[in-house]
Structure 1
Amino acid sequence: MNQMELQRHVADGTLAQAAEQLQNDFTTAQSNHDAQKSAEAANDLGIVLWMQGDNAAAREYLNQAQQLFIQANDAAGQGRATGNLAQLEEREGNGDAASALYMQAADLLHEGGSFQDEYTTRKRLSKYYITRGATMMALRETVQALRVKPNANAWDKLQIWFFSIPLNLMGVKA
């Protein structure tokens, strides 16, 4: 299910219909032994279930999506599933698990060459750190996010330089 379809289901209040469609897609992909399509359907189904408030089922499908993306040898897909799981953990108040999952997701997205998603994930991790008072870690993640940002402009490069000053003074590698 693409982003536009999901947004339409959210706007129309038809998430149950989306979940049913994704469950059918997942079952079909499983019966066809298609790890990639199974992983994508499990990831999307996890997101929809999470939006419906069924966090336990969402976590189960997102974990399953991670494993299926590993089978499909798709690091970027695994990173997206891990990032979704990180958001779920953060919203449930499991901060330690969320931060570790965000870091893992960013590394997987980098490995998979999905730099826009890595940028977004590192910005989320930076925001997470700043809300916890970890300013240097937030700056470090912001610098790393800006370094992988697609179509970075002069302002982004200036921010990298500026934010690197306190990191270098504190001996933090960015």
Structure 2
Amino acid sequence: MPELVLPTTSVRESFLEAMDEFVAEGAEFSQTAAWIEHNAPGWQDPDAFAVFVEAVKADALLETPRLEWHVPCTTLWWVDGDDYLGRLAIRHELNDFLLDVGGHIGYDVRPTRRREGHATAMLTKALPWALALGIDPALVTCDDDNVGSIRVIEAAGGVLEDVRGTKRRYWVPTS
């Protein structure tokens, strides 16, 4: 049964396969794409992958150094045993960009495991994590033409506030 977990080295092989899938589809403009761009060559080394996993977990800590426009972020991986299915990020606060475009929660499912209900399950299971971080409600955004994400967010109780450019902005209760 899939579950949300903190990043772990136990899913390394499946994670690497998933990253290859994202590369093959031309992933852009996501946390996953940024991970691939900055870390992919080193992931072949298990020790380098372990360092990456610890860095992702450390991004949740307020004291972790980060780029000026980044906020603390808890990243969770959606896994089924040793099978990496996707990732979800909970941003602890909103800066101007996140308020307008990115939201509190972002997620992606590996390409070969889409349309199996994973995004809906991930988002639903992440809401208590967001509440524990003091986020209620959570802003979740998606592209205006992304019918799948619209359904996921609305299934989680998301209420559309507005559309800004190409982004739909929903507030999702976490309690």
TM-score (norm 2): 0.34
Greater percentage in strand: 2
TM-score (norm 1): 0.34
| More relative contact order, 1 or 2 (CA 8 Å, 6+ apart) | 2
